[in-house]
Structure 1
Amino acid sequence: MADYNRWMNERLYDAAATLPEAALFEDRGAFFGSLFATLGHIVAADLIWLNRFVQLPALAELRGPLSALPAPTGLRDRVADSLPMLRERRVQTDVVICDMVRRLEPVHFDEVVRYGNTAGASQAKRFGPLLQHFFNHQTHHRGQASTLLFQAGVDVGVTDLNALIPHEA
């Protein structure tokens, strides 16, 4: 899922880069309004979750690389002011995500992550289902972003995870 995440993000940002800047910020009636805000939400949410995940001892070494990135506290927090800056944040975040999954062992999925959600409520949940939510959330909002791009006249092309599954002879 981390590789699919990175691959799809590259495709979305390549497609978004073909639009004029005004089109990126145009309110298109989506949940977050514009394509830029939708892409920014995905980065902000990823950073919020990653900052929670690195509290697990197995992921503690990622705190350093993560500390170089913004630490949003809200799902609408803006983490960049331009598409090139947002893309750089996206790339850096994807590096941390890929590094995270390489460190994981099956035993880690049953560990409990304790955190306060964005509304301030205390939470204690198993890491495995949270990680599933993390990747599902990205996929959900990338679907919205690809729709916004299509509505703006840009076809992202193949978006299926199946495209990355190697063919077996």
Structure 2
Amino acid sequence: MRIFPEYCVTMARYNAWQNAQLRAAFETLSDAELRKERKAFFGSIFKTANHILWADRMWMARLGLGEAPEGDHLSLTPTPAVWAGERYKTDARLLHWADHLDAVDLKGDVNWRSVMAERDFSHPFDLCVMHLFNHQTHHRGQIHAMLTAAGAKAPVTDILFMPEDGPWL
């Protein structure tokens, strides 16, 4: 086993803490600034935020934690306010899952068909969980850079500065 339930709890808390900071940062920018094309991988702050939410839900569905998202990954939610609410609910579900994990829950394989790659995949469950958390962190780093470029105060991202007692949401 590569990871343990304690890792999942820490990373789910980190994810929720980071997303709470993003929600606050987004409130300081206009809708136009959030949607402005910035030559980033997914274009804008808002499209990247939608991509992370969509991917989190897709991975959670593959892990048996809910339904797969419908629609395009860059336009999952129509407005920053809707994104904030959906992000909050998704983070709460991920925290609940992590808080109730047993080591045996991280065993086994995850099998899925990728429509984009047009092929089947099978990977160890714990590796897929690691990917879920790594993917979030990777793309939040892109948002951090875009927020800084937009003149907004970017979140503190170092896990070592994460509050020990929350708030997680």
Matched positions, count:
153
In structure 2, the residue matched to 1:150 is 148
1:78 paired with 2:75, answer yes
- Whose relative contact order is higher, 1 or 2, with alpha carbons under 8 Å and at least 6 apart? 2
1:61-104, CA deviations, whole angstroms, 9 ceiling, x for partnerless residues?
x4xxx35xx72365x35211100001111001101111121232
In structure 1, the residue matched to 2:8 is none
Go from structure 1 to structure 2 and tell me whether the alpha carbon gap of 1:73 and 1:131 turns closer, same or farther (over 3 Å shift): farther
In structure 2, the residue matched to 1:160 is 158
User: 2-side partners of 1:32 and 1:79: how far apart?
Assistant: 13
Go from structure 1 to structure 2 and tell me whether the alpha carbon gap of 1:165 and 1:13 turns closer, same or farther (over 3 Å shift): closer
User: 2-side partners of 1:134 and 1:91: how far apart?
Assistant: 17
1:94-145, CA deviations, whole angstroms, 9 ceiling, x for partnerless residues?
0111112123211222211111124231111111011001000000000000
Q: Over aligned residues, Cα RMSD in angstroms? A: 1.7
Q: Which has the higher helix share?
A: 1
- 3-state SS, counterpart of residue 159 of structure 1: coil
User: Contact 1:25–1:35 at 8 Å: present in 2 too?
Assistant: yes
Unaligned runs of 5+ in 2: 1-10, 165-169
Q: Which runs of 4+ in 1 moved over 3 A?
A: none
In structure 2, the residue matched to 1:5 is 15
- 3-state SS, counterpart of residue 111 of structure 2: strand
